[in-house]
A and B are shown apart, each in its own frame.
Chain A
Amino acid sequence: MITRDDIAHLARLSRLALSDEELDHLAPQLDQIISAVAQVQEVAAEGIPPTSHATGLANVFRDDEPRPCLTPEQALRGAPAVELQRFKVPRILVEEG
């Protein structure tokens, strides 16, 4: 059973500022969906390898050769804010990396 608080936590992790109405609306739907998809746990899958790639391909590479890139104008076109030929973003609170 997944609670409204759990959903609120998931929303925070996913960077979704959901309103209370949205949380009220989505929480029971998600609870229902999660219960339904939990059905996969019924399957006896001892020793069954997981499939992450269906094609069986491996070792697909490219050569270390330069390819044309975008111009700064193309890269920045459509950016909500630009300064000094860089993407201008609001102040970052938590230092990362």
Chain B
Amino acid sequence: MGRELTRKTATELAAAVTAGDVSAVEVAQAHLDQIAAVDDRVRAFLHVATGEALAQARAVDEKRARGESLGPLAGVPVAVKDLFATAGLPTTCGSKILSGWVPPYESTITARLRAADAVVLGKTNMDEFAMGSSTENSGYGPSHNPWDLDKVPGGSSGGSAAAVAAFEAPLSLGTDTGGSIRQPAAVCGIVGTKPTYGGSSRYGVVAFASSLDTPGPFGRNVRDTALLHQVMSGHDPMDATSINAPVPPVVEAAAHGDVSGMTIGVVSELAGDGYQSGVMSRFAEAVEVLQGLGAKVVEVSCPHFKYALPAYYLIAPSEVSSNLARFDGMRYGLRAGTGSAEEVMAATRAAGFGAEAKRRIMLGTYALSSGYYDAYYGKAQQVRTLIIRDFEAAFSQVDVLVSPATPTTAFDIGERADDPMAMYLADLCTIPSNLAGNAALSVPVGLAPENGLPVGLQVMAPPLADDRLYRVAAAVEAAFDSRRGHPLLDEAKGLGA
């Protein structure tokens, strides 16, 4: 029974709990049992909030017993990336420098989830302060891909992706700054969305690159992902960069995956050298499927996309060098070293931050320095404008753009860990959407023949057209699921049968 519950979709679980067919406590317990069974190998979680989760589940059951109506995520367990401030639960951001920190306040998004009667199971592992593509930059050790435990689950939201792929939770929260939801979703064989920037509140989401960070949903299928997207999104007066517009009709779009009449653009620059052949072949297949479903497919050129990676690796480090300055051992978190305040700050930060964080802080400090600002940060902001214009030109011809979500399938743990340039390449396809603030998602389209590892199709839409993503993704998913005859994740053998 427990195992069956963990195989249900979020949509099914919410309906079952609301109908009283199963209690929220049973659902929560089933998932806690799964965590106990597999997380010593997957290591998706940094903190499992057993007591709190069961208490929340009980509260949902009591609410139902009183005859009150339940929220759209009634009793649905959710895993939360450890970047979200959760009052009373440890929040480390995957960093030693925040070891032991318990926030005195709650992020807007997790508060909305609770208000929707979801059950927060715990906090998931991530690359330190969201910087990375594998969780190997976590101060607490990497997570493991449920498809093959020697492989990375992607990053920076790798723990959240692994948790969903390992059936530890049907839904999870992540953040996407350069691809940190889409890339893990792709390499773990699940669905992950980067909503339109400003579409989901950043209040309580520890900042990495403020103008790029976008909280978003993971799910095992398109419809579940849309449900979480809907509940978590919307304007927040506590976030001055949040958009004051209705959430695009993503749930409805996910229920109607019909691409006939849509024009779909294939970005010619997002292919070629460095792209694994199995990724390209699965991608090509997906494009054919879309054509077969009635979409018109054209090639589109976005000539400035080749500058997206360098621009991103100037803008993001610049913003993070400033955002991480507050971690100095004076007010919370780790304090190390002796001597003056200046010495203690420097010793604390040296002890608390990992190598990638240090690299990016120094890179950002360099790019913002007087004398270098115009040539680096300033120039990168201009490139950003050009990329936005590339997208605008493209979207004037097509409804959505597609590409592989990431050039390769999951790589080995350790393979790129000390090779930052190689690691950065994982973001090649995803970064342009972050710079432009567009909506984008990754939906699984099969396994690479050479290694049997998942491949994701990236769909990109203009800002506030998130629903188009789900329309296309639902169509693709339905087509592949029906071909396959079973959910893709059934083929994940990393954790045994």
Contact = CB atoms under 8 A, between A and B. Distances in A.
A45 B386 CA distance: 8
B310 A39 contact: yes
B341 A29 contact: no
A89 B366 contact: no
A40 interface: yes
A1 interface: no
Interface stretch (B16-24, B325-333, B477-485): B325-333
A22 B346 CA distance: 14
A74 B83 CA distance: 20
Interface stretch (B97-105, B123-131, B396-404): B97-105
A77 B340 contact: no
Contact of A93 (B310, B340, B376, B386): B340
Interface in A1-53: 2, 7, 10-19, 22, 25-26, 29-30, 32-34, 36-43, 45, 48-53
Nearest to A54: B437
B314 A37 contact: yes
Contact of A50 (B237, B243, B339, B381): B381
B40 interface: no
A6 to B, nearest CB: 8
Interface size class of A (residues with CB under 8 A): 35 or more
Contacts of A2: 366
B248 to A, nearest CB: 15
A13 B365 contact: yes
A94 interface: yes
B310 A15 contact: no
A91 B344 CA distance: 10
Contacts of B152: none
B421 A33 contact: yes
A11 to B, nearest CB: 6
A78 to B, nearest CB: 4
B350 to A, nearest CB: 4
B107 interface: no
Contacts of A37: 310-311, 313-314, 363, 367, 376, 380
Contacts of A42: 307
A78 B307 contact: no
B459 interface: no
A91 B340 contact: yes
Contact count band on B:
35 or more
Contact of A80 (B335, B375, B376): B335
B490 interface: no
Interface in B203-261: 211, 237, 240-241, 243
Given A13-B365, A75-B104, A78-B333, A51 B359 contact: no
Given A78-B333, A93-B342, A43 B379 contact: yes
A42 to B, nearest CB: 8
B310 A89 contact: no
Contacts of B355: 22, 25-26
Contacts of A90: 338-341, 343-344
B307 A39 contact: yes
Contact of B380 (A15, A25, A40): A40
B362 A30 contact: yes
A38 B382 contact: no
A62 B360 CA distance: 33
Contacts of A54: 197-198, 211, 384, 388, 435-437, 463
Nearest to A53: B211
Contact of A15 (B304, B311, B342): B342
A48 B358 contact: no
A62 B237 CA distance: 8
A55 interface: yes
Given A36-B310, A78-B101, 5 more contacts: A38-B376, A40-B311, A50-B385, A53-B211, A54-B436
26 contacts: A7-B362, A14-B365, A15-B345, A17-B337, A17-B343, A18-B358, A19-B350, A22-B355, A22-B358, A26-B355, A32-B421, A36-B313, A37-B310, A37-B314, A40-B314, A43-B382, A45-B385, A49-B382, A50-B381, A70-B104, A74-B104, A77-B102, A80-B335, A81-B335, A89-B344, A91-B340
Interface of A: 2, 7, 10-19, 22, 25-26, 29-30, 32-34, 36-43, 45, 48-55, 57, 60, 62, 70, 74-75, 77-81, 87, 89-94
